[in-house]
Structure 1
Amino acid sequence: MDEDQNHQRVIRPPQFTSKAIKHYLKTRFTELIPSKEEMKANKHLLNPFKPLTQMTAKQWNFFGIAFWGWTLDAFDYFAVSLNVTNIAHSLDRSTKDITWGITLVLMLRSVGAIIFGYLGDRYGRKWPFIGNLILLSVLQIATGFINTYKQFLGVRSLFGIAMGGVFGNAAATALDDAPADARGVLSGIFQQGYAFGYLLVVIFQRAITDTTAKGWRSLFWFSSGLSVIFIVWRAFLPETDAFIRHKQQTLESTEESSNKRFLIQAKQALKTYWLIMIYLVILMAAFNFMSHGSQDLYPTMLTNQLNFDQNQSTLTNSLANIGAIVGGFFFGWSTNFIGRRFAIIICCIGGGAMIYPWAFVRNDGINAGVLFLQFFVQGAWGTCPLHLSELSPPHFRSFVTGVSYQLGNLASSASSTIEAAIGERFPIFIEGKEDVYDYAKVMAIFMGCVFVFLLVVALFGPENRGADLNAESLID
C-alpha cells in the first residue's frame, strides 16, 4: 500500500457540522460497493488460496494457535447449550433457569475482555492468552463437578470472565503478522473457529455425553484436557512481530515512562476513536443477537418441540455448522471485492429469506434451511475480525476488538433467556410430554428483527477497508 492510499485510510476525529454529516450519509451509499478500480486492483485475489502461499511457517503457527484457541472457546461455550435439558434434569431446574447460566457467561465476558485486552496490548499477546486457557481448563473441570444450581451459576460466571479475554488476543495474534492479501480469507477462516468449535462439540456430545455413565459431565472434563495441548503450543511460540515493533517504538527505557507513554496513546486514541468504539459495540450487539438468537436455543427446539432423537439432532446441528464454516470462508474472501459492509448486508437479506425453512419446515427440508441460514449468519461473521481490526486503534487493537465484541455480547446476553421466556407463552400439547413450547415461532420473529437491525447498522456504519494493520499510527 503506497503512502497516499494509506493516508486516505487514516481515522480522524468525528466532525458534527451539517456538511460533514450530509457527506457521511451520502457516502454510505456511494461507497457501499467498491469501485471498478478497486475491484480490478484486487483481481489477483480471485483465487482465495493463492494469497495463503505468502504465509510463512511462523505466521501459520500464529494463525493456527489463534484459530484453535477461538475454537476451544466456542467448544466450551456450546457444551452448555447442547446440554440445557440434561443439566436442567440433573439439577432439577427448568430450561429457563439453565439458560440463565448462558446469559451470565455472555454478560461477564466483557469483564474478561477488558482485563485480558489491556494485558495483551500492554504486555503482549502470549501470556494473557496462555492464562486464558489455563482458567478455561480449570473452570471446565469445576463445571463437571457442580451439584447445585448456585454452584452452576457461580462457576459459569467465572467462566464468562475467562472466556471474554480470548477473542481480542486471538484475533490480534491471527492477523497482526499476516500478509495483507491473505487477511480477508484468514478473517473468514479464523471466525469460523467458532462454528468449528460448535461442530466439534456436537460430535463429541454424541460420542461422549450420550455414551458415558457421567453423561454431560464427561464432556466438560474432556474439553478441559484439550486446553493443555494449546497451552503448550503457545508457550513455544514467541510474541508477534507486530507487537514487538510496537513495543520497541513506544516503550521507553523505564517502566514509569512506559506507563506514561501508554496513557498518552490511550488518551489520543479515545479522542479520535470514541465514536467508532460506540459504533463497534452496537455492531457487535447486532452480530451477537444474530448468532445467539439462532443457535443457543435451537438444539432445545429440535429435541423438545420437534422430538428429534440423538442422531437426528446431531445431523441437523452438524449441517448447520458446516454451512457456517463454508459461509464464513466464502464471505471472508468475497470482502476483497464487495467490501465489508456490503457483504454483511447481503448476508442479512439471505439469512432473512431462510428463516421460514429454518424454523417451520417439519421434514428433512429443515436440514437445508438450517445449513443455509447459518451459511449467511456466519458468512456475515466472517467479515468481523478484519473489519474490527481495520476500525480499531493500532496500539489498542486487542483491547478494542475484544471489548467491543464482548460488550456486544453483554447487550445480547439475554437472547436465549428472552426466547425461552417468551416461548413459554406459546405452549404446545404433545401427548406424553410436558413443558413443550413453540420456540420456533419465537425464534423466527426474533431473527427477523435482528436481521433488519444489523442491516441498518451495517449500511450506515463506517468502513476502513484496506487499512494497514502494521502501521504504527493511523491517527491524524
Structure 2
Amino acid sequence: MTSSRQHLRDLFRWKVRVVQHNKNGEVQVEYQSPTPLHNPIRLLRDLHKRDGAMCLVALAAYTADAFDFHSVATQVEKLAWYYNSTYLYVSGCLAISMVTRYVGAAIMGLAGDRYGRKWPMIFSLWALGALQIGSIYCGSLYQFMAVRATIGLVIGGLYGNAMAMALENCPTHSRGLMSGILQAGYPLGYILAASASMGSGASLGRYYDMNTTESSLRIVFGCGSIFSFAVGAIRMLIGESYQFVEAKRQHRRRDSERTFWNDAIHMLRNESSIMLYSILLMTCFNYLGHTSQDNYTSFLRTSRDMDWDVALRGGITMMVGAVVGSVTLGYISQWIGRRRTVIGACIITAFMIPAYILPDREDALSVSGFFLQFFLQGAWGIVPVHLNELSHPSFRAFMPGFTIQIGALLAAPSSYAIIKTAHDHRSGNGRGYYKEARYGRPMGIAIAISLAAIVLLTALGPERRYRHFENALPAGCGDRTGNDEEGGHRDEKHNRHNRDDSRNRRDGRNRDDSRNRRNRDESRNRRDRDESRNRRDRDESRNRRDRDESRNRRDRDESRNRRDSDESRNRRDRDESRNRRERNGNDSGGRDEGRDLSNGHRSRDSSRSRNDRDQDNRRRQNFLRDSLNPPVRHMGATYLFKQILRGDNDNNHGRHNSRNLFDDDATEIQVLEPPIKI
C-alpha cells in the first residue's frame, strides 16, 4: 500500500500517479498527464440512450431518498407542534433514521453486487413509498420514530446501488460530471421537500389548527410516496447493467453462494484499510453536511426571527447554490483531480462561514448561503466517483454505500448536538424559548472543525482517478484479484498464489475478445463490400438507364427529323405536281387565259381541260383508225400520224396545227406533202 507521504507528494504533482498490473501480476507505477476538459454537452451526448436513462433513474432515486429525509428536516417545528413535543425529540427522528441505515446498506449492497442493481433498488424505492404512507397515519411521536427507523433500513442500500449503476455505465472521462449531477440529487430533494411544505401551508399561524396541520403533513408525505413509487416503476422498465448481463450470457455466474461469500471475505481482508479511511472521511463529510443544512431553517426562524415561509425561501436559495456547485466542481475534478478539488472547495468554504451566520437580513443570508453551499456541496459532488474509484471493482454497491452510511451513523448526533447547544446557550431577552436559541455559533464551529478534518484526511489519502472499473467481473465469478487497467492496491501474496489462474482467465478473455473483434471486423468488412457492390450496381444501372434514355432520345429525334424531311419532300412533291398540273392545264387551255384564278374557277377550268384532253385522245384514236385505211397510205399521212402521236406542234420542216386537223368545222382533211420526196 502506498504511504501517506507518497499521497501528500502526489498532491503537489500535476501528473496523475497510475498503478498498473501486468499479466504476470507485477505492479508498475507511471505518471500520466491529466486529460483536458471536454465540453459538458458533448460528454452528455456521448452517453448511450440506455446509459443515460440509468443515470437519470439513479439521480431520481437519490432525490427520492433526500426528499424523504428533508420532509422531516424542513417540518421539525410543525411536527413538534403536531405531536405536542419539542425540537429535541423531533430531531431524534432524523438521528434514528441515520442510525439504522448501515444495516440496509450492508444487506442491499451485497445483494446488488451478487444479483445486480435492479431489484434491490426497486425493493428499496417501493418500500420507501409504502412507509411514507405509514408516516401519515402515525398517532404518536414514538410510532413516527419506529416508522423512521424502518425507513432507514430499507433505503440504506439505495445510495450504493444507484451510484454504482450510474458510474459503471458512463465513460471514464465523463465520470466527474456525472458524479456532480448524481450528488445534486441531495439538495434537489431539499428543494422539492421545502416547496411541498410551503405549498401545503407555510405560515406558522395556520399550524395551530389541527386539521390544517394534519392535512399539510399528509400532502408532503403523500408527494414523497408517489415520487418513490414512480421512480421504482421506471426502474423496472430499464434493464440490468451490462456487466451482469454479460456474465450471465457467458455462464460465469456460479450457482453456489460459497464463491460469492469467499470473495466477500477476501475483499474485507484486503480492503480493510481503504474501508477504514473511507469511513473516517465520510464521517467528516456527514458532519459537515448535517450541521450546515439540517438546522438552517431553524436558525432563520429562531435566531433571526423570520417567518416560516421566509425561512424556507432562504433554504431553497441556499440549496440552489448547492445544486450548481455540485455539478460544476464535479466536472472540474475530472481535470484538476479529486483531492485538489475537495481541498480547494473546503478552504473557500471556511472563509465564508462568518458571512453564513452573521447577517440579519434575508437578502444577505440568502446570498451568503448560496455561495457557501456552492463550494460545500461542490466538495460533496466528488464523493460518489471518489468512493467508487477507491472501492473494490466487484463490490462497488457495498463499499461506497456501507462506508457512507457508517459515516452517517457516526454523524447522527450532529443535528441533536447543534440544537442542544443552541438551547443551552440561549439569549435572555425573554421573547420565548425557541426564538432565544443561538444556532449561529455552534453551527459555525461545527462547520469549521469538519472542514479541517476533511482537508487533513483528503491530503493524506489516496486517489485513483481514471480507474477502469467498468470491465471488472461481478462478485462470485471467481476473479478475486479485481485487477483493472489503472489504479488499485493488491495483495501481492494472494496474487502470487493465483497468478497462473488469473493469467489463464485473462488469456481466455483476451482470446474471446480477439475472436469477437475479428468477427466484428469481418462482418464490418463484409458489410462494406456488400455496400460497395450494391453501390457499384446502382451506379451501373443508373448509367445504363441514362444511356438507354439518351439512345431513345436520339432515336426519337432522328425519327422526328426523318418524318419532317418526308413531310417536306411530300409537300414539295405535291407542290411540284400541282404546279405541273397547272402548267399542263394552262397549255391545253390557252384560249381560256382570262379565267378566274380563284379556287372555284380553277376547279372548273381543270375539269374542262380534262374533258378537252379526253376528246382529243378519242379524236387521235379515230384519226389513227382512219389513217390506216387503204386509201391513205402515202408517206405524208404516215409522217403526219407520227407527228400527231408525238404531240409536237413545231418541227424543223413546217408547222402543223393538230387542232385544225380535227376541227369540227373542217369539211375535209388537208394532207400536206412531206418535204422529202420518195
Contact 2:63 2:186 in 1 (8 A): yes
Aligned residue in 1 for 2:182 = 190
Of 287, 290, 297 in structure 2, the residue corresponding to residue 289 of structure 1 is 287
The CA deviation at 1:403 is 0.3
The CA deviation at 1:286 is 0.8
Write the letter of the residue equivalent to 1:433.
G
The CA deviation at 1:250 is 8.3
Contact 2:291 2:415 in 1 (8 A): yes
Structure 1 residues 470, 268: closer, same or farther in 2, change over 3 A?
Answer: same
Secondary structure, aligned partner of 2:322: helix
Tell which deviates more after alignment, 29-38 or 194-203.
29-38
Aligned residue in 2 for 1:327 = 325
Structure 1 residues 322, 389: closer, same or farther in 2, change over 3 A?
Answer: same
Contact 1:209 1:218 in 2 (8 A): no
Write the letter of the residue equivalent to 1:471.
N
Counting only pairs closer than 5 Å after superposition, residues 217-228 of structure 1 correspond to structure 2 as 217-228=218-229
The CA deviation at 1:200 is 1.1
Aligned residue in 2 for 1:42 = 35
The CA deviation at 1:252 is 4.2
Aligned residue in 2 for 1:235 = 236
Structure 1 residues 281, 247: closer, same or farther in 2, change over 3 A?
Answer: farther
1:391 and 1:353 map into 2 onto residues whose CA distance is: 30
Counting only pairs closer than 5 Å after superposition, residues 184-333 of structure 1 correspond to structure 2 as 184-210=176-202, 213=212, 214-246=215-247, 251-252=252-253, 255-256=255-256, 259-333=257-331
Contact 1:293 1:447 in 2 (8 A): yes
Structure 1 residues 374, 157: closer, same or farther in 2, change over 3 A?
Answer: same
| Residue 463 (1) aligns with residue 472 (2) | no
Higher relative contact order (CA 8 A, sep 6+): 1
Contact 1:33 1:338 in 2 (8 A): no
1:252 and 1:56 map into 2 onto residues whose CA distance is: 26
The CA deviation at 1:49 is 2.3
Aligned residue in 2 for 1:389 = 388
| Residue 336 (1) aligns with residue 334 (2) | yes
Q: State the percentage of identical aligned residues.
A: 29
Aligned residue in 1 for 2:99 = 107
Aligned residue in 2 for 1:29 = 9
| Alignment RMSD | 1.9
The CA deviation at 1:159 is 1.1
| Residue 156 (1) aligns with residue 148 (2) | yes
Secondary structure, aligned partner of 2:395: helix
Contact 1:320 1:367 in 2 (8 A): yes
Write the letter of the residue equivalent to 1:159.
I
Point out 4+ residue stretches in structure 1 off by more than 6 angstroms.
36-39
1:250 and 1:32 map into 2 onto residues whose CA distance is: 46
Secondary structure, aligned partner of 1:315: helix
Flag structure 2 segments of 5+ consecutive residues without an equivalent.
18-30, 204-210, 473-481, 484-489, 496-678
The CA deviation at 1:106 is 0.9
Structure 1 residues 36, 270: closer, same or farther in 2, change over 3 A?
Answer: closer
Secondary structure, aligned partner of 1:237: coil
Structure 1 residues 172, 439: closer, same or farther in 2, change over 3 A?
Answer: same
Q: Which protein is bigger by CA-based radius of gyration?
A: 2
Contact 2:333 2:341 in 1 (8 A): yes
1:160 and 1:110 map into 2 onto residues whose CA distance is: 8
Aligned residue in 1 for 2:675 = none
Aligned residue in 2 for 1:407 = 406
| Residue 438 (1) aligns with residue 430 (2) | no
Question: TM (normalized to structure 1)?
Answer: 0.91
Structure 1 residues 224, 456: closer, same or farther in 2, change over 3 A?
Answer: same
The CA deviation at 1:431 is 5.3
Secondary structure, aligned partner of 1:73: helix
The CA deviation at 1:243 is 3.0
Secondary structure, aligned partner of 2:394: helix
Counting only pairs closer than 5 Å after superposition, residues 53-64 of structure 1 correspond to structure 2 as 53-64=45-56
Contact 1:32 1:341 in 2 (8 A): no
Contact 1:290 1:450 in 2 (8 A): yes
Structure 1 residues 188-240: Cα deviation after superposition (integer angstroms, max 9, x where no partner)? 10111111111111111111243893122321122111112112111111101
Secondary structure, aligned partner of 1:188: helix
Structure 1 residues 125-182: Cα deviation after superposition (integer angstroms, max 9, x where no partner)? 1111000011111111111111212112111111111221210011011111111121
Matched pairs, number: 452
Of 118, 121, 145 in structure 1, the residue corresponding to residue 110 of structure 2 is 118
Contact 1:39 1:337 in 2 (8 A): no
Structure 1 residues 93-143: Cα deviation after superposition (integer angstroms, max 9, x where no partner)? 110111111010111111110111011111111111000011111111111
1:376 and 1:406 map into 2 onto residues whose CA distance is: 23
Structure 1 residues 90, 241: closer, same or farther in 2, change over 3 A?
Answer: same
2:235 and 2:225 map into 1 onto residues whose CA distance is: 16
Aligned residue in 2 for 1:9 = none
2:158 and 2:251 map into 1 onto residues whose CA distance is: 25
Structure 1 residues 331, 246: closer, same or farther in 2, change over 3 A?
Answer: farther
1:303 and 1:209 map into 2 onto residues whose CA distance is: 16
Question: TM (normalized to structure 2)?
Answer: 0.64
Write the letter of the residue equivalent to 1:468.
H
Flag structure 1 segments of 5+ consecutive residues without an equivalent.
1-13, 15-19
Tell which deviates more after alignment, 68-77 or 149-158.
149-158
2:159 and 2:13 map into 1 onto residues whose CA distance is: 28
Contact 1:251 1:261 in 2 (8 A): no
Secondary structure, aligned partner of 2:371: helix
Structure 1 residues 301, 319: closer, same or farther in 2, change over 3 A?
Answer: same
Aligned residue in 2 for 1:10 = none
Write the letter of the residue equivalent to 1:167.
Y
The CA deviation at 1:346 is 0.8
| Residue 360 (1) aligns with residue 358 (2) | yes
Structure 1 residues 25-46: Cα deviation after superposition (integer angstroms, max 9, x where no partner)? 1431333453299896512x24
| Residue 165 (1) aligns with residue 157 (2) | yes
Structure 1 residues 111, 250: closer, same or farther in 2, change over 3 A?
Answer: farther
1:398 and 1:247 map into 2 onto residues whose CA distance is: 19
1:361 and 1:56 map into 2 onto residues whose CA distance is: 47
The CA deviation at 1:305 is 2.0
Contact 2:7 2:462 in 1 (8 A): no
Structure 1 residues 323, 39: closer, same or farther in 2, change over 3 A?
Answer: farther
The CA deviation at 1:394 is 1.1
Tell which deviates more after alignment, 30-39 or 235-244.
30-39
